[in-house]
Amino acid sequence: MNAKAQWHAYKELQAATEKAWEKLRMDIQKKAPLAILVKDSNALNLLLGECNYMTREYMSMEEQAKK
């Protein structure tokens, strides 16, 4: 796998995660309905999970490359 491409994809996910976090924060400040907060929270958790998965995959690739 191309490390540069993976890094670029990770940075895109990070930007999307930051946007989702900001949306959740703004909706909390606006006292949005619970359904919207749950939706925002789920979107944020999904993005964080994807970032976590990509990080683990990259670390695994690095370990294999060292062997």
Task: Tell me which residue has tokens 């989702």.
Answer: 20
Which tens digits make up the pLDDT trace of 20-31? 999 999 999 999
pLDDT the model gives residue 1: 61
> How many Cβ atoms sit within 10 Å of the Cβ of residue 47?
19
Angle (CA) 41-43-48 rounded to 5° is 90
* Helix, strand and coil percent figures for the chain, each rounded to 5: 90, 0, 10
d(CA 45, CA 16): 12
Q: What is the pLDDT of residues 11-56, one digit of tens each?
A: 999 999 999 999 999 999 999 999 999 999 999 999 999 999 988 9
Measured in whole angstroms, how far is the alpha carbon of residue 34 from the centre of its chain? Answer: 22
Asked if the model's pLDDT at residue 10 lies above 70, the reply is yes
